[in-house]
Amino acid sequence: MKEELFVSGRNIPNIDPFLNIWHWEIPVYLFLGGLSAGIMFFAGLFMVMGKEKEMATTVKWSMFLVPVALVLGLFALFLDLKHQLYFWRLYTTIRIESPMSWGAWTLMFITPLSFIWVATYMKEAIPGWNWKFKLIDDLEALAIKYRVHMAWAMMGLAIVLGVYTGILLSAFNARPLWNTSILGPLFLVSGMSTGLAAIIWMSKSHEERTILTKIDIALIGVELFLIIHLFMGFLAASEVQIEAAQLFLGGEFTVTFWVFVVILGLIIPALLETLELFGFRIPVWIPSLLILIGGLIFRFVMVEAGQITRFLY
Amino acid sequence: MRYAMAVDTKKCVGCGDCVVACQTENNVPIGYCRDWIVENVNGSYPNVEIELRSERCNHCDNSPCVRCCPTGASHIVEGGIVMVTHNECIGCGACIQSCPYDARYSHPEGYVDKCTFCNHRLEKGQSTACVEVCPTTCLYFGDLDDPNSDVARALKNRSWKVLAPEAGTKPQLFFLT
C-alpha cells in the first residue's frame, strides 16, 4: 500500500488535486485552429494545382469560415490567459524552445493572410461589393496577382499551425499522456479531416465532393493508424505512460474516447462516406457533422485527461 | 555558484513551520503556498514506513518551465535560481503544465508564482525563510560549488535522492534518506 498525504498548504481551489488550469478555452482553440489549418491547406493546395474553377468551394467559399474561426480561436486563447493585460509580451520576443511562442507568431502571419485571401474574393461573393477607397482596390489587384504565392505560404503555415496544435501539448514532459511526438501529426491529420468535413458540407458540386470525400476517407484511415500507434507507444513505455493509457483502456475516458471519438467521429463517418461514393444517397451533413463533433470531443478529452496524468514519486 | 537545498527526511517532523514562514516572508495569498509538506506512507502495519518531505520548486538545471515560457518571463538568474518576472508573465499556464513537481501556481493577480529560494534575502546575505525557522534544522541551503557550505557537506556525508530523476530536469532539491 502506498499513500501520499499533503500535510500542509495545497488546498488550492481549481488546482489540487490535479493542476488542471486549462479548461474549455484550450480545446476549443485547438479545434478551431485545426479546422482553419485544414481548410487553408486544401484551399492553397487546389489553388496551386490550378483547380480554382472546379474546386470553387474549397478555394473560395469555405475560406470565408477561416478568419471567423481564427478570430474566435484567438479570443478563446485570450480568455484563457490569467494576466491578460500583458498578452502583447508574446510579440516582444521569439522563444525558439517554446511551442507557444511558435504558435503565437504563426497566428500573427496566418490570420492576416486568411483575411487578405477572403478579401480578394469579396467581389465574387457579393455582387456589387465596393471597397470605397481606391487604395484598397489597388491592394486587392496586387493580392490577386500574387494569389499562387499566397497559396504556397498558406499551405506551409497551415501545416505549422496544424502540427503546433498537437506539439503545444506534447512538449510537456511532466504530463505523460501528452508527452508523445505522435500528437503533432495526429492533431494535424485530425484538423485536416475536420476542415474537409466543413468544406464537403458547404460544397454543392458533386464532382468536388467526390474528390474531397476520397481524401477525407484516406485521412481518417491515417488518423486511426496514428491512434493505434499512440496506444502501442504508451503501452510499451514507462509506468507513467502505461497509467496514462489506462485512462482510455478501462479508465474514466474509455467510453467518451472510443464511442464518441473513434466510432462516431471516425469509423461511422468514414463508412457513410464510402457508401456515398458507391452511389448510396446519404445526406452530406451527417458524416460532416459527426467528424466535426468527434474532432471537438477528441481535443476536450486529450486536454482534460492529460492534466490528470503526472510523474509518480 | 549553484544554490541548492537538501531536506533531511529523517529529521523532518512535518510541523509546517517552513510553509508558514514562507507565506509570511513572501506575502503568499491565503490558500496558496510556495512550499508544502508531503507525508509518504509506505506499507501497512506492522511493516510501515513514513517519509516526510518539505517540497518546493526544484530550481532545475534543465528547467522545462523556462524552456516552454513563450515570453521569457520564466528565467534563470545567477546561482541557478528559476525566477518569474511578473510583468512579463501572460498567465498562459504553460509552465504550470510543464512542471513535474507541480511547484507553480497561478497567483490571484494573474501571473504565475513560485519559490524564489528567497532571492531577496540571499542578496542581503541571509538564508531562506524556511531554513531560518526550521525547528529540527532539517533544511540545508547553500552553494554547491563551495565544499564548505551546509548543503555540500550534508550531501557529502549522507545518501540522498532527487524526485522524478527520470523527468530529466536535473533538480537541485535533494532529499537525504
Out of A1, A82, A313, closest to residue B91 by CB: A82
Cα–Cα–Cα angle for A227, A228, A233, rounded to 5 degrees: 95
Q: What's the pLDDT score for residue A17?
A: 45
Judge: A7–B16 Cβ closer than 8 Å, yes or no: yes
- Give chain B positions within 8 Å (CB) of A87: 90
- What pLDDT score does A2 carry? 62
At A168, phi and psi to the nearest 5? Answer: -50, -40
State the average pLDDT for chain A: 91
Task: For cell 490567459, name the residue.
Answer: A81
pLDDT at residue A3, as a whole number: 63
Q: What is the C-alpha separation between A297 and A304, in angstroms, rounded?
A: 10
Q: Is the pLDDT of residue A14 over 60?
A: no
Q: How far is CA B31 from CA A11, A144, B28, B107, B112, in A?
A: 6, 58, 8, 11, 15
Question: Among residues B64, B93, B18, B49, which one has the least CA distance to residue B164?
Answer: B64
Find all residues with CB under 8 Å of A20, minimum gap 6, and list them.
A14, A304, A307, A308
Predicted TM-score of the model (pTM): 0.92
- Calculate the alpha carbon distances from A301 to A28, A37, A144, A262 in Å: 11, 20, 41, 12
- Residue-averaged pLDDT of chain B: 93
Residue-level pLDDT at A10: 52
CA distance A112 to chain B (A): 21
A13 closest CB neighbour out of B31, B73, B89 = B31
The number of C-beta contacts closer than 8 angstroms across A and B is 152
Residue in B43, B98, B164 closest to A172 by CB: B98
Interval B17-57: pLDDT, tens: 999 999 999 999 887 889 988 888 888 888 888 899 999 99
A12 has a pLDDT exceeding 80: no
pLDDT computed for residue A11 by the predictor: 45
Q: Do A9 and B19 touch (CB under 8 A)?
A: yes
Q: How far apart are the C-alpha atoms of A175 and A144, rounded to whole Å?
A: 46
Q: Do B36 and A172 touch (CB under 8 A)?
A: no
Residue A13 has pLDDT above 50, yes or no: no
Given the DSSP bridges, would you call strands B36-44 and B139-143 parallel, antiparallel or unpaired? Answer: unpaired
* For range A2-24, the mean pLDDT: 59
B129 in Cβ contact with B24 (< 8 Å): yes
Q: How far is Cα B48 from Cα B42, in angstroms, rounded to an integer?
A: 6
- Would you say residue A4 has pLDDT above 90? no
Pairing of strands B105-106, B112-113: antiparallel
Alpha-carbon span A263 to A271, nearest angstrom: 10
Residues A234, A238, A241, A247: is their CA dihedral positive or negative? positive
Residues 187-246 of A with CB under 8 A from B: 238
Cβ distance of B110 and A89 shorter than 8 Å: no
Q: What is the mean pLDDT of residues B105-131?
A: 93
Rounding to the nearest 10 degrees, give the CA dihedral for residues A272, A274, A275, A281.
Answer: 70
**pLDDT at residue A15 in the model:** 44
Give the model confidence (pLDDT) of A137-193 as tens digits.
Answer: 889 999 999 999 999 999 999 999 999 999 999 999 899 999 999 999 999 999 999
State pLDDT tens for residues A65-110.
Answer: 999 999 999 999 999 999 989 999 999 999 999 999 999 999 999 9
Each residue's pLDDT tens digit, A278-296: 989 889 999 999 999 999 9
pLDDT grade for A21, boundaries at 50, 70 and 90: confident
Contact B111, B91 (CB under 8 A): yes
CB atoms under 10 Å from CB of B127, counted, come to 16
Provide the pLDDT for residue A19. 58
Pairing relationship of beta strands B81-84 and B74-77 according to DSSP bridges: antiparallel
Which residues, 6 or more positions from A241, have their beta carbon under 8 angstroms from its beta carbon?
A176, A177, A179, A180, A233, A234
pLDDT over 90 percentage in chain A:
80
Q: Which residue of A has its CA nearest to B29?
A: A12
Of A12, A90, A173, the CB nearest to B70: A90
φ, ψ (nearest 5 deg) of residue A297: -65, -40
**A235-266 confidence digits (pLDDT tens):** 999 999 999 999 999 999 999 999 999 999 99
Question: What does DSSP assign to residue A251?
Answer: S
Give the span between the Cα atoms of A195 and A206, in whole angstroms.
18
Inter-chain contact B168–A9, Cβ cutoff 8 Å?
A: no
Please check whether residue B106 touches A, CB under 8 A.
yes
- pLDDT for residue A18 is more than 50: no
Look up cell 465596393; give the residue: A130
- Which pLDDT value is given to residue B169? 94
B99: confidence class by pLDDT, cuts 50, 70, 90: very high
The average pLDDT across A214-232 equals 97
H/E run at residue B49? strand B47-55
Contact B88 A86 (CB under 8 A): yes
Of A27-31, A215-219, B32-36, least confident by mean pLDDT is: B32-36
| CATH node for A25-306 | 1.20.1630.10
Q: What is the DSSP string of A64-98?
A: GHHHHHHHHHHHHHHHH-SSGGGGGGGGG---TT-
CA distance A53 to B125: 74
Residue scoring higher pLDDT (B89 or A7): B89
Written as one letter, the residue type at B145 is D
- Is the separation of the CB atoms in A172 and B93 below 8 Å? no
C-alpha cell at A76: 478563446
SS3 of residue B141 by DSSP: strand
- Interface subset of A 24-83, CB within 8 angstroms of B: 80-83
- In whole angstroms, give the CA distance from residue A214 to residue A274: 8
Percent of chain A with pLDDT over 70: 94
Specify which residues A39 forms β-bridges with: none
Position of cell 504565475? B112
pLDDT at position B40, please? 84
What's residue A173's pLDDT? 87
Q: Any idea where the domains of chain B sit in the sequence?
A: 3-176
The pLDDT of residue A9 is: 46
For A85, which residue in chain B has the nearest alpha carbon? Answer: B90
Enter the DSSP assignment of B111. Answer: S
What is the CATH number that goes with domain B3-176?
3.30.70.20
Domain segments of chain A as ranges = 25-306
Question: Can you tell me the distance from the alpha carbon of A265 to that of A258, in angstroms, rounded to the nearest whole number?
Answer: 9
Can you tell me the distance from the alpha carbon of B44 to that of A2, in angstroms, rounded to the nearest whole number?
9
